[in-house]
Each structure stands twice: as C-alpha cells, then as structure tokens.
Amino acid sequence: MYKDAVDLEKDALRQGDIIADTQIFGAINLKSITFLNNSKNEYEGWQCKAKPIFSYAVVLSHSCELDPANGIKLTSIILAPVRDIDTATDKSKIDDLKNSNLLRPGQTHSYLKYFYLEPHPGINFSNGSVVDFSKTYSLKKDSYDEILKHKIIQLQETVAENIALKYSAYFYRAAGVISA
C-alpha cells in the first residue's frame, strides 16, 4: 500500500501523498464565521471562531497537474482529511469498510465516502485510517511548498489510482450507475 521510505519523492507532490500536521478545512460551520466590513459596509475579510484542527490529509489532485516539471497546472491543491477508522463507523461495520476499497461490478457500495488505509507507523491511528471524501477542501497552489514540507508518506501508484476511482464514484453515484 505504501512506498518504502527510501522511495519517497521529497521534491514533488503526487496524488496519494499523505501530509502530516496540516490544517483541516473540510467542514466549516457557517455560524462560526464573522464577516469584517469596511467603513462603506463592504466585505473586506472574515474570521472563523473555531478551534483549528491539525491532522493528516491525502492529496487528491492529479500528479501530472502537481508536477513542477509541468509548471504546476492547477490553481489549487485538493486534499481530503485522514481519520481514525475507529471513529469513522460502528465497530461492527469496520470489516465491511476495510473491504470496500476496490469497486466491483454488481457490488453494492455502502462506504463510497471512505477509502481504507492500513496502519502505518507514520500515522497515529493504530487500527488504520480512512480518507474521508465527504470533507475534501482545496488550498491555493501557492501553498505547494508548505504542503510539500509536511509530506510524510507516498502511496503506491495502484493504491493512488484506486483512491481516485473511489473518489470519482463517490460523486458519480447520483447518476444511478453505482448503487449505494
């Protein structure tokens, strides 16, 4: 599932990279936002009175668009928070969640919003974790270097591809092609 530490690309972000100690913006409570107005009563900023959450996140943006050799072709970097599997679902359903990563024809998909990650010594969730697609967020591309500084793990390409497939299925299910 994970590339060996010696194979970690330290000079570039890739789809499937795991970032540590990054601020999670995936679910902002609108009631916690205060808008700042100037003397003409025009918006000039805002504040969010909520405790910041720092945790792990996975890069969902395409590797080719993130590649500095291609000029970083995107305007923002899409991330999804990584959560402790023990808090993601009822304990009796964890095995089903763990087995839901690969999409198969005819299979019902009850965990489209999650992708299971096996335990890793670099992630402080001893029973594993999940990528939570329901709380994706983006950061401007000028955050690239800061995000790169926090890269700790790189997923194998096939795992990153499976994350991308499941992420797209999470949004595509409304078309009725995939049953939830």
Under the banding of pLDDT at 50, 70 and 90, the label for residue 19 is: very high
Domain chopping of the chain, boundaries: 11-173
- For residue 7, what are the contacts with CB-CB under 8 A and spacing of at least 6? 154
What distance, in Å, lies between the first and last C-alpha atoms of the chain? 25
CATH number given to 11-173? 2.30.30.110
What would the two tokens of residue 169 be?
A: 């299925």
- For residue 14, what are the contacts with CB-CB under 8 A and spacing of at least 6? 59, 63, 66, 154, 160
Under the banding of pLDDT at 50, 70 and 90, the label for residue 6 is: very high
Question: Which residue has tokens 């993130």?
Answer: 66
> Which tens digits make up the pLDDT trace of 128-180?
999 999 999 999 989 999 999 999 999 999 999 999 999 988 887 655 555 55
Q: Which is nearest to 128 in space by CA: 180, 84, 162? A: 84
> Which tens digits make up the pLDDT trace of 22-79?
999 877 788 888 999 999 999 999 998 888 889 999 999 988 888 877 777 788 999 9
* Strand segments (E) across 53-127: 54-59, 76-84, 114-117
Phi, psi of 146 (to 5 degrees): -65, -40
CB-CB contact of 117 with 129 (8 Å)? yes
Instruction: Give the CA angle between residues 162, 77, 134 to the nearest 5°.
Output: 55
User: pLDDT value at position 161?
Assistant: 94
Q: pTM higher than 0.75 for the full model?
A: yes
